[in-house]
Structures are given as structure tokens and as C-alpha cells.
Amino acid sequence: MLTAHSIFNEMNELGAKKVPFFFMIDFLKENGEVIPLSELPEDIKFEINSEQKHTIPFSFDFNKFPIPFEEYESKYSIVHKNILVGNSYLTNLTYPTKIETSLSLDDIYTYSSAKYKLKYKDDFVCFSPERFVKIENSQIFSNPMKGTIDASIDNAKHLILNDEKEAEEHATIVDLIRNDLSLVAENVVVNKYRYVDEVQTNDKKLLQISSEIKGDLASNFHEKIGTIFDDLLPAGSICGAPKCKTIEIIKEAEQYARNFYTGIFGVFDGENLDSAVMIRFIEQDNHQLLFKSGGGITAKSNAEAEYNELIQKVYVPIY
């Protein structure tokens, strides 16, 4: 496991040589892995931008035990008060939920249908629907995801697209990501704004709202891949804005270690790169499974609605 800036130095060195490599970086950029694909151990498995759909051949149990609303509300209050006095415009508040399931981490990795999947040893599994950045033909793309609703609700698509709080949250993140990409790229534009994706879970279908932002990189971007990621991280969609102050608020309110949850992982293939935000994340801690989830808080947020969203995101995309 690499620490601090040795992560980004190693990415720069391998990128300059156009050596294909896997990388994984935690939320606070304190720890990570950078491993040439030719040396990747068997206990690290991943799929990048996969379109495969998996059907599980057996039934399974999946139960969640969220914290009481009162405990969540106390954390929410810290965030909301900071927003009301202007310390943050948007803060991503998360918390681990205890789960019990008959599925193993290998089962979850194998049968989850998700664009980005990672199983790291016996430590955690991630099945993320959200890209961090893709680099292709010297262009960089980001697809921040903000806004989730149960697709079974009447007129769900109309409701989520016309919800004022959700619209403001999404606009804030798009603006933040546009500013972030401008640190490393030129000609940054919003290519698509607030499009709808469907995500199938073990018990329902969700609608999620994303946008696409793109910019132009120098043709020798591969020589400074690590520097690019150092500038862009932490991912704006899972902290908030302004980024530095919002991270302070997150630490004060959450009072637990996210570790690799809401970090990123990806692959450089020698020419191009793709990566994901590590959301939809199950961690194994002393034989107990914890599902880490959360959502963005704004001035117009409602504590009970945010609590329900945190619980709603505790699922496996297995059916």
C-alpha cells in the first residue's frame, strides 16, 4: 500500500512509460495502490465500464440495520447549520449501515450488475454506477451523479427533474466538477446536462441523474496522470463545495473513517484511462459487513428525506 504523494509519483512514472496499470486511491488521498497490470495479484478483481448483466442462479437474504433517525439527525444538524451560515453550499453526508446477507463478497462481485466493480482482497467490494473521469484521445470526461428516486413512484422522472433541491444540488456539483477539470484541461464544457439512468437493485428500480463534462488535455497527459488525479481529488460529487471547508465539515459530522469508500479506482491501458467513484460500497470489518452510503445536503434539504435516501442506497444490484 502506497501513501500520500508516492501514489501520484508512481502513476506519473508508469504513465510516462505507457505501462498499463491499476490504481486505487482513498477518500483523503492518504493511501492507495498503483500496480502494473502484469503484476496484479489474483485477490484484486475489477471490471471497468462493463455492460454485462448478471442473473443470480439462487435466492439470497439481504437485510439492513440503519442507525436510528435521531442519531442521523444530529449529524445532519451539524452539516445543515454550517450550510445556513455559508460555510458550504453542498455537503455529502454519509454513514455506515450494518447489513446481514447470505451472499459472500465474491458473490456480490460476481453477480452485481454495475458499470464499475472492484473486489479488493477480503476487505471490501464496490459496485459503482458513477464514473470519476475517463481520458480518451487526449480528452477528459467526468459524469457526476446527483439525484436518486424510486422509479416505482408515480411520475418519478418528472418529480426528480423538477425537484428544486435536487436541481440545485446537481447544478452545484456540475459547476464544481467543471472548475476542477479546468485545473487540468482546456476548453471545458458541459456536454450533457441532467440525463436519467435506470439502476436495477435487488428489490426495486432507481432513477439516477447525471451530467457529462469534458475538456481537452495535452497530448503528453500520460506523463502526468498522477498530477492530474492529485489536482482533481477528492471527487467533488462525494464531498461538496467549497471542497476544503466542506471536508472539514464532513469530518466533524460523520465521526468515522470513510477509508476507500468515496475514493476512486481505475485503469490506464497504456493509451487511455477510465475510473470510478467508489460508491455502493460494502466493507468487511471483523466479520461484520458495513454498507457505506449517503447523499448531498443543501440549505433546502429535509432531514427525514435525506435519511431515507441514505437507506434507499443500501442495496445490491443483483436480481
Angle between helices 164-182 and 225-232 (to 10 degrees): 140
User: Cell 441523474 identifies what position?
Assistant: 209
Distances (CA, A) of 251 to 142, 150, 257: 25, 29, 9
User: Is the domain covering 2-312 a CATH 3.60.120.10 domain?
Assistant: yes
Q: Helix, strand, or coil here: 170?
A: helix
- Helix (H) / strand (E) element for 77: namely helix 69-84
Q: What pairs with residue 97 in β-bridges?
A: 291
Report d(CA 94, CA 253) in Å as an integer. Answer: 9
pLDDT value at residue 169: 83
Distances (CA, A) of 73 to 78, 166, 210, 290, 294: 9, 20, 27, 20, 13
**Per-residue model confidence as pLDDT tens digits over 242-292:** 999 999 999 999 999 999 999 999 999 999 999 999 999 999 988 899 999
Q: Which of 155-159, 201-205, 232-236, 283-287 has the lowest mean pLDDT?
A: 201-205
Going from N- to C-terminal start, the domains of the chain cover 2-312
Asked if 3 and 31 touch (Cβ cutoff 8 Å), the reply is: yes
Average pLDDT over residues 143-172: 88
The torsion defined by the Cα of 74, 80, 86 and 89, in degrees rounded to 10, comes to 130
Average pLDDT over residues 43-51: 93
Q: Residue 301: how many CA atoms within 13 Å on its side-chain side?
A: 28
Strands 240-241, 90-101: pairing kind: antiparallel
Average pLDDT over residues 200-216: 88
